[in-house]
Amino acid sequence: MAFTIALAGKGGVGKTTVAGLIVKYLEKTGKTPILAVDADSNANFNEVLGLKIEDTLGKAREDMKKGAVPDGMTKDVFMSMRMEEAVAEAESYDLIVMGQPEGSGCYCAANTLLTGFLEKLTGNYNYVIVDNEAGMEHISRLTTSNVDVLLVVSDTSRRSLQAAVRIKELAENLHIGVGRSALIINKSKQEPSETVMDIINKAGLELAGTIPEDDSIYEYDLNGRPTIELPDDTEVVKAAFGIFDRVIG
């Protein structure tokens, strides 16, 4: 069974960048093959990884609901074919994008098929990295795999930390079998203050570590360069790898 790492956090805290750094870490340490899953409706995991997306699972589900299954083809064969087409491949990792949330109407049949195919797909990988929205419903609805590690990403703002606390509580209330939850403070300019640590400790959050603010991430993003290509000797990569050594091993 694949080791599953899910990420969540308030918008703008850099969780997709952290997800990309996890893929970089796993690749560097030989923990492959890896499946990256973009479960954020604002999908941009592919930009961090430098992969081109041709299709999404959401679009396949929508097409099936609209009756796009060719004559003579069963729905399960159609979904299987579209799922294979939606996988973007790199040398040691693949990416699949969930896509936009569904529209009105019942998606029960499509979701059931999609769940089954996702289970089969994740079985082909040693590690699965899920870049998720602030809510955990995407994971709960579309996969039945347990989450070995939930990494909640925050910056040092009170609103971001409060969102991290809510995400932890939500994850505990959903049936996704979280093995371990940990907080990563991203874009940090200094060590967490006493106020920040008080919020973390009162919520019972485990602080996995901090990742410093780094202008190189902004520059890579501005110039359309995948942040997974950041040099290993940059402070942000060294800090992230140190965290992953402790949390992922």
What are the backbone angles phi and psi of residue 46, rounded to the nearest 5°?
Answer: -60, -35
- Stronger pLDDT, 135 or 174, i.e. the higher one: 174
Domain that holds residue 241: 3-247
Residue range 193-215: average pLDDT?
Answer: 94
What percent of the chain clears pLDDT 70, i.e. is strictly above it?
88
Residue range 203-214: average pLDDT?
Answer: 95
Q: What is the pLDDT of residue 142?
A: 45
Q: What is the pLDDT of residue 84?
A: 87
pLDDT band at 133 (very low <50, low <70, confident <90, very high): confident
Residue range 31-37: average pLDDT?
Answer: 95
The number of domains in the chain is: 1
Instruction: Answer whether residue 118 shows pLDDT above 80.
Output: no
Q: What is the pLDDT of residue 249?
A: 81
CA distance linking residue 26 with residue 158, whole number of Å: 31
CA distance linking residue 1 with residue 227, whole number of Å: 29
Partners of residue 152 on adjacent β-strands: 8, 183
Sole residue written with tokens 């592919």: 46
Residue range 56-63: average pLDDT?
Answer: 84
CA distance linking residue 45 with residue 38, whole number of Å: 6
Q: What is the pLDDT of residue 202?
A: 93
Q: Which two tokens stand for residue 202?
A: 């009162």
* Sequential DSSP letters for the chain: --EEEEEEESTTS-HHHHHHHHHHHHHHTT---EEEEEE-SS--HHHHHT------HHHHHHHHHTT-PPTT--HHHHHHHHHHHH-EE-SSEEEEE--SPP-SS--HHHHHHHHHHHHHHHTT-SEEEEEE-SSSHHHHHH-----SEEEEEE-SSHHHHHHHHHHHHHHHHSSS--SEEEEEEEEESSSPPHHHHHHHHHHT--EEEEEE--HHHHHHHHTT--GGGS-TTSHHHHHHHHHHHHHT-
Residue range 77-85: average pLDDT?
Answer: 87
Residue range 223-233: average pLDDT?
Answer: 95
- Stronger pLDDT, 144 or 39, i.e. the higher one: 39
Instruction: Answer whether residue 185 shows pLDDT above 90.
Output: yes
Instruction: Answer whether residue 143 shows pLDDT above 50.
Output: no
Instruction: Answer whether residue 101 shows pLDDT above 80.
Output: no
pTM for this model (two decimals): 0.90
Indicate which CATH number applies to the domain containing 14.
3.40.50.300
Residue range 77-101: average pLDDT?
Answer: 87
